[in-house]
Amino acid sequence: MSQLLPYLGVASLLLVVSALWARQLFLTRKSRIELIVSQKREPTSGSSASHRDHGERIFDLGDWDFVSRNAPSEIQEMFLRERAILAISWLRRTRARISLVMRAHVAAVGQIDDLHLATELKLALSYLVVLTLCDLLIVWIWLRGPVRTRKMVGRTLRTVAWLRGAFEQLMARVSAEI
Amino acid sequence: MSLGVKNVEIEPAVRDLRNRTLARLPGDVSRLVYLASSRDLNTGRYSHDGIAFHFSENVASKAMAACHEEIFDRLVYCSLEELIEELQSYISSTAERPGDVLQSWKRLGSYRVTIPSECDEMAAEIFLSNVKIALAILQARQESAFQDGQFA
């Protein structure tokens, strides 16, 4: 057992450093992050409302306040059930979209000459963080419902927004190189 | 209120449609139902004789599609409370008994055909879920009002 201690120590240290790095990354970017993550959709009419975020709509507490004040308990349960279904569906889509962008990035990154290793590592770390967060949120929502998970979702939205911003910057560099 | 229409070609038709036809309808749910019912379910094309006469059939169809999406987006992002008011306003505007309309919408899921063809799946899911809850609340209110009337 004592032989494993140094390895455990190094692993714990790496984990703490990664966590601190990720935290620092999100905190410094936080002020510049727009909470609204625009959708990939390109409607024919280009209506203004289409650029709003579905996540914000799903987790809007105003609806829950209204339902909890004005509807009987069975409708309140129905509301929470419906919102949980929507929230899980939205998280699955977000996860799939991020994975798609990451795959596209990995495919394109081979074409860059001046690859910034630190940026790529940050990106990879953030990608893993977002995927883990999405998975945890799905389980959390399934267990506790969408209303109680509102704060966690807010953080995920900010992380996802940052990740998308970082992807866009990198993808712009890729396009410039090509 | 701006549609944000990218295509300059359809802007006059959109204005015309908005000012002459849609403005006369009581609320966004009525407008949504009107636009959806003007769409051919086989081709997805909309028809409006007046707009088509002034512009062209193609422009009329595009203008109606643009308005349909705009109104749908407004309803997706409005609060549940507002959606209930919109539904109530629509139900009151029909000549049918409110209870019958509510039953029919719930049983047949008539509101499913009001979704524009160009909207994304998540927006459609949010809309369907919100309408389902709004109908349940309206029905509960109606049943409660009926019981109050019986005991009064």
**Which tens digit of pLDDT belongs to each residue from B83-123?**
999 999 999 999 889 889 999 998 898 899 999 988 889 99
A41 reaches B (C-beta below 8 A): yes
CA-based nearest distance A153→chain B, Å: 17
Check pLDDT > 70 for residue B143. yes
Would you say residue B113 lies in a domain?
A: yes
Rounded-to-integer distance, Cα B12 and Cα B19, Å: 10
Residue A48: which of B2, B122, B125 has the nearest Cβ? Answer: B2
CA-based nearest distance A49→chain B, Å: 6
Would you say residue A19 lies in a domain?
A: no
Structural domain that includes position A109: 54-177
Give me the number of domains chain B comprises: 1
Nearest CA in chain B to A83: B129
Rounded-to-integer distance, Cα B105 and Cα B131, Å: 10
What is the residue-wise DSSP string for chain B? Answer: -----S-GGGHHHHHHIIIIIGGGSSSHHHHHHHHHHTB-TTT--B--HHHHHHS-HHHHHHHHHHHHHHHHHHHHHS-HHHHHHHHHHHHHHSSS-HHHHHHHHHHH-GGGGGS-TTS-HHHHHHHHHHHHHHHHHHHHHHHHHHHHHHH-
Structural domain that includes position B65: 8-151
B15 reaches A (C-beta below 8 A): no
Would you say residue B110 lies in a domain?
A: yes
Taking only the tens place, the pLDDT of each residue in A113-148 is: 777 788 788 788 878 888 887 888 888 888 877 777
Return mean pLDDT, chain A.
71
Please give the pLDDT value at position B68.
Answer: 96
Residue B65: which of A44, A49, A93 has the nearest Cβ? Answer: A44
B123 reaches A (C-beta below 8 A): yes
Would you say residue A124 lies in a domain?
A: yes
Nearest CA in chain B to A84: B129
Centre a 10 Å sphere on the Cβ of residue A23 and count the other Cβ atoms it contains. Answer: 10
Tell me the residue type at A1: M
What is the residue-wise DSSP string for A83-137? Answer: HHHHHHHHHHHHHHHHHHHHHHHHHHHTT-SS--HHHHHHHHHHHHHHHHHHHHH
CA dist B37 to A64, A145, B116, Å?
A: 32, 37, 11
Residue closest to B81 by CA, chosen among A68, A26, A55, A131: A68
Taking only the tens place, the pLDDT of each residue in A47-75 is: 444 446 788 888 888 999 999 999 999 99
Rounded-to-integer distance, Cα B143 and Cα B139, Å: 6
B128 reaches A (C-beta below 8 A): no
Centre a 10 Å sphere on the Cβ of residue B96 and count the other Cβ atoms it contains. Answer: 10
Residue for token digits 């001046």? Answer: A114
Give me the number of domains chain A comprises: 1
CA-based nearest distance B135→chain A, Å: 10
Check pLDDT > 50 for residue B61. yes
Q: Quick one: average pLDDT of B20-47?
A: 94
Residue closest to A99 by CA, chosen among A91, A110, A88, A111: A91
Enter the pTM of the model. 0.75
